[in-house]
Amino acid sequence: MTHTLHRRGTAESLSEDYPMLCLTAMGINDDGHIPKLQEFLRIALRHDPKNMGSITKGSMFHYKPEEVIAAARGIVHAVFDNPQAVTEVLKELKEADLGMSVVVSGIFEPVEECCKKAGLKRHTVNFSLGIWGKTEKLPPDDILEVTTMCGHGLVSANLVNSVVEEIKSGARTPEDAAKELTPHCACGIFNPARAAKLLAAMAKT
C-alpha cells in the first residue's frame, strides 16, 4: 500500500502524473540505506521531476534539491509528468542496482510499459478500490483531483477553492496558484504541473 495510490481524475489527466517512492524494508535492507536513497534522488533529479522530497526534510518547494538529497532517510519521493521520464529513471535505477524497493504509481498500462522499456518486470500491483463510507461528505470530484495528490491530506479543499477564486479574479495565474498548494505536501508527491491544469479548468467553470 502507498499513499500515492488514491489519486483521482480522468485517464487524460492521470497520464501526466507519475509519483515514485524509494524506501527501505526495516530490518532487511536498512543498513547503509542513506547513500542509496540519495542516489535515487540524484537519478530522479536528472530527469526533471515536477517535485521531490524526503519525509525527514520536506520537498524541493521548501528547500533546494541538494538539501533534500542530503537529508534523505527512510523513504524518498519524486513525481514526473510524463512516462518517458519514468522510463529513463527506471533504466538508471536498474543499472545502479541500489537494492531498495521502488514504487511507481499511475495508470496501470503506461506504468507497465515503462517497466518493459526499462527491462524490468514488476513485482507487485496494488489497485485503489475507491473511497468507502459517507462519500456525500467529501468535496466535489474536481477538488478531490487536486487534494488527493497529497496522500496525507495536507492540501486543504478550502485552500483549493480559495486559489480558484483568485484565478477567476485575475489575482494570480494557475501556475502561481499551484505553487501555493505544493509546499503543503511535505513528501514531495504533489504534482504542481498537473495541479495548474486542474485549477485552470476549475476557474473556467
92-148 pLDDT, tens per residue?
999 999 999 999 999 999 999 999 999 999 888 988 888 899 999 999 999 999 999
Beta pairing partners, 104: 20
Are 113 and 139 part of one and the same domain?
Answer: no
Are 99 and 41 part of one and the same domain?
Answer: yes
Residues 69, 174: Cα–Cα separation, whole Å = 28
Count of domains observed in the chain: 2
* CATH number of 82's domain: 3.30.70
Are 140 and 193 part of one and the same domain?
Answer: yes
pLDDT of residue 1 exceeding 70, the answer is no
CA-based nearest residue to 7, from 197, 193, 201, 190: 190
Structural domain harbouring 161: 135-203
**Cα distances (angstroms) measured from residue 49 to each of 65, 85, 112, 154, 203:** 11, 8, 20, 21, 26
Residues 79, 68: Cα–Cα separation, whole Å = 14
The two beta strands, 58-59 and 75-80, are unpaired
Percent of the chain with pLDDT over 70: 100
Are 197 and 139 part of one and the same domain?
Answer: yes
43 within some domain: yes
Are 35 and 71 part of one and the same domain?
Answer: yes
The pLDDT-based confidence of 3 (bands split at 50, 70, 90) is: confident
* Per-residue cell: 141: 470530484
**Cα distances (angstroms) measured from residue 110 to each of 41, 61, 82, 151, 164:** 22, 27, 10, 21, 30
2 within some domain: no
| Kind and range of the H or E run holding 102 | strand 101-104
130 within some domain: no
* Per-residue cell: 88: 529513463
Are 159 and 194 part of one and the same domain?
Answer: yes
The two beta strands, 101-104 and 18-23, are antiparallel
- pTM, whole model, 2 decimals? 0.93
Question: Exposure pattern of 23-47 as b/e (b: 16+ CB <10 Å)?
Answer: bbeeeeeeeebeebbbbbbebbbeb
29 within some domain: yes
Q: What is the pLDDT of residues 34-43, one digit of tens each?
A: 999 999 999 9
**Cα distances (angstroms) measured from residue 121 to each of 90, 126, 190:** 11, 15, 27
Are 81 and 166 part of one and the same domain?
Answer: no
Residues 177, 180: Cα–Cα separation, whole Å = 5
